[in-house]
Structure 1
Amino acid sequence: MEDSVRDVWLDCDPGHDDALAIILAGYDEVLNLLGVSTVAGNQVVEKVTLNALGTLTASGLSSVDVVQGQGRPLLRPPLLCPEIHGESGLEFAEGGSMQDYAIGSPVPGKAVNFMFERISAQYKKRGQPVCLVCTGALTNAALLLLVYPEVIPMIEIVLMGGCIGTGNTHAVAEFNIQTDPEAAKVVFEAGVQNLAMVPLEVTHTALATPAVMQRMMQRQTPFLQLMHKLLMFFAQTYKEVFSFEHPPLHDPLAVFFVACPSAFTVRKMRVDIETCSALSAGQTVCDMWSQSQQPINATVAMTVDVDKFWDSMIAAILKADMLSPLNVSIRDSLSTS
């Protein structure tokens, strides 16, 4: 494997944008997806695990291992998001859900153990840090760092989460961090040398506009129609809840940060996680002007080249379309014609 290829472990709570993060991680030419772990967030962990299995199967990535992770935050009751992602956690316009495509079972055992085994083995094999990409609550990541502190030099972390100012499911907090603030605090203070945060201010610029949808629907295949129905459901709930005319694609941007860091502008700063306040638990306190005198612990994305992102995202979706088992009958007819 060429040195330019980045090994990635994806830790997620598969809802609509997580599904596209999985596809990007699995098909971007500079990424090597080692596995997927799931965590409660968009829905309960059993449902999001089925969503991960369904996404991998539908997109032709069924050889990628899935391990089911934590079903609740470290100290708090679960915080779910059915108003955005539906009762299954990943529903489609016109009915059905990603669970309909789930084949196989997650790897048995505790996620934190499997994550460490796979990450440490790959680190020893290649001598390069594995990038742990987190697009849900940071519960699994925190436990990995606490149970296996020796993993710290073996990993870099990129997370979709947090905000510099206004939150989404809270006035000043973003959903993933709000779900498990204590886990986020562990991750930000663990001493991981390279930790990057892609906040709402950036993800809210990557909108699935009609022009984007038109680029994606280059062929009328079952898989691409499924992707269209996925985004249409997401668009409707985002418009109802947040009044967005077009839905933002949050989670794939964390994967894209690994694949193409030059597409982002960033600032290094101190980020602290509020865990005590009843008013602002889960707030990412971003010290933009270095006023706290605390050591810098994060690279925070400030902007992204949206066109480059969509080029990569659509290319990955079209690669998945070429290998999706949903399209077998179409490929068979083409090969015999």
Structure 2
Amino acid sequence: MTKQQIPIWLDCDPGNDDAFAILLSIFNPRYKLLGISTVHGNAPLSMTTHNTLAVLDLLNIFKVKVYKGEERPLINSPRYALDVHGVTGIGGVELPKTSINKRVTSVSYVDALRDAIEANAHEICLVATGTMTNISLLIEKYPDVIDKIKYISVMGGSFGMGNATPYAEFNFHTDPHAIKAVVDKLQDKMILSPLNLTHKIIATADIRNQIYNEDDETKNSPLRKAFYDILMFYSKAYAMLEDMNTGPPLHDPVAVYSLLPIVDGNCAEYGYKYLRRKLDVVIGGPHEGESIIVNKSVPLDESENEGVYIGESLDAKKFWNCMLEALNTAELNLK
């Protein structure tokens, strides 16, 4: 039986791993990508917007509408991750300075996103792989859309670890006020892919050879080389970490993929396990951006009846098969 397509909207800050999220959103047949909004985060907004358009060029896709979002956090000063993603925001590949794709300027991202939610009420799922500034301003301006969003799948947060500070993940730390606003209003619909999950999705040598292999004529196309180089540049930030010396993790497409087990209501099929808990986010101080489980009276390994779906594990082989199939389809799209 053919499974129903999921209408999605991608809010992102490309970013090397965001490129893979865009790839999966377009070339996995389960998703119907309605639009993309960009946001500050891994790089300044001008870069994340250009990178989005250029990745679409790379994929030979010219019908996805792209909207420029917010260029700074709600309150805090901007922070970027150019040390991880390179001086252009997507390191390892030379994207054209001028893209064929152009962003939509006739309507704002917040109005376009509201219109997409209204047109796909109770079916649309948002996927947020960057800071949550855009989403927080959406629900502030149009609170009526909250009930019409089916799920929001978020890459962000961490528990007992961090990559921006010892306590906080980058997306949560960069705009903690925004993620707190979204968590407060949308957490019963939120699927979270924290570092604790994404650090388990490693691009091993075998996976990398399936993405690109110069000695295999079926795996050495320019498109494959581009995504391989994007991945390998990103891997430099992780190469020195003891638990990731077999390859880099791939964060953002995990948030796209994690919709499938929840929407399908069949976690076993995807080897997906989650813990459902009420969350809060720390504002201010050295722990700013830290993800906090609210109800301490419930054992930490037990779920509550409401709250965020916190991804704990998934079948990495099935994830990578899905990712590689998307790359194969993208390659066919160029022929």
Q: Is the 8 A contact 1:162 1:177 kept in 2?
A: yes
The 3-state SS of whatever aligns with 1:29 is coil
What SS class does the counterpart of residue 22 from structure 1 fall into?
Answer: helix
Q: Aligned to 1:314, which of 312, 324, 328? A: 324
CA displacement at 1:140 relative to structure 2: 0.4
Deviation at 1:10, TM superposition (A): 0.4
Match for residue 103 of structure 1 among 100, 103, 113: 100
Q: Does 1:186 align with 2:196?
A: no
TM-score using structure 1 length: 0.88
The alpha carbon displacement at 1:222 in A equals 1.1
Alignment-mate amino acid for residue 229 of structure 1: D
Q: Tell me the SS of whatever aligns to 2:236.
A: helix
**Among candidates 254, 271, 274, match of residue 282 of structure 2:** 274
Distance 1:242 1:97 in 2: 30
Instruction: Tell me the CA shift for residue 162 of structure 1.
Output: 0.2
Distance in 1 of aligned mates of 2:202 and 2:242 = 13
Q: Following superposition of structure 1 onto structure 2, how do residues 18-167 of structure 1 map, counting pairs within 5 Å?
A: 18-92=18-92, 96-100=93-97, 102-108=99-105, 109-123=107-121, 128-155=122-149, 156-167=151-162
8 A contact 1:129–1:153 mirrored in 2: no
- The answer to which of 184-193 and 167-176 deviates more is 184-193
- The residue type paired with residue 73 of structure 2 is P
Aligned-partner SS, 1:239: coil
Q: CA deviation at 1:202?
A: 0.5
Give the residue type in structure 1 aligned to 2:190.
L
Q: CA deviation at 1:295?
A: 8.4
Do 2:6 and 2:32's aligned partners in 1 also have CA atoms closer than 8 Å? yes
Displacement of 1:145: 0.8
Amino acid of the structure 2 residue aligned with 1:266? Y
Which of 313, 319, 331 in structure 2 is aligned with 1:303?
313
Distance 2:75 2:113 in 1: 22
Please say if residues 152 and 189 of structure 2, whose CA atoms lie closer than 8 Å, have aligned partners that are also in contact: yes
Deviating more after overlay: 256-265 vs 71-80: 256-265
1:129 deviation in Å?
Answer: 2.5
Does the 8 A contact of 1:153 with 1:193 survive in 2? no
Distance 1:290 1:105 in 2: 51
Structure 2 gaps, min length 5: 213-217
Q: Is the 8 A contact 2:25 2:31 kept in 1?
A: yes
| CA 1:242–1:72: 2 relative to 1, 3 Å | farther
Q: How has the CA–CA distance of structure 1 residues 307 and 295 changed in structure 2, closer, same or farther, with 3 Å as cutoff?
A: closer
3-state SS in 1 of match to 2:63: coil
Give the match for residue 327 of structure 1. none
Unaligned runs of 5+ in 1: 325-330, 332-337
| 1:319-330 correspondence runs (5 A) | 319-324=329-334
Return the alpha-carbon distance in structure 2 between the equivalents of residues 77 and 265 of structure 1: 36
1:122 positional shift: 2.5
Q: CA deviation at 1:27?
A: 1.1
CA RMSD in angstroms comes to: 2.1
C-alpha distance in structure 1 between counterparts of 2:259 and 2:117, whole Å? 16
- Letter paired with 2:273: T
TM-aligned CA deviation for residue 207 of structure 1: 0.9
5-14 or 230-239: bigger deviation:
230-239
Q: For the structure 1 residues 290 and 30, does the alpha-carbon distance in structure 2 shift closer, same or farther, using more than 3 Å as the test?
A: farther
Query: CA offsets, 1:13-49, max 9 Å, x none?
Result: 0111000001101111111110110000000001010
The alignment partner of 1:113 has SS state of: helix
1:99 Cα deviation from its structure 2 partner:
4.6
- Separation in 1, partners of 2:96, 2:160: 35
CA contact (8 A) 2:223 2:331 kept: yes
CA contact (8 A) 1:167 1:173 kept: yes
Amino acid at match of 1:314: L
For the 8 Å contact 1:57–1:101, the answer to whether it is kept is no
Q: What secondary structure does 1:255 align onto?
A: helix
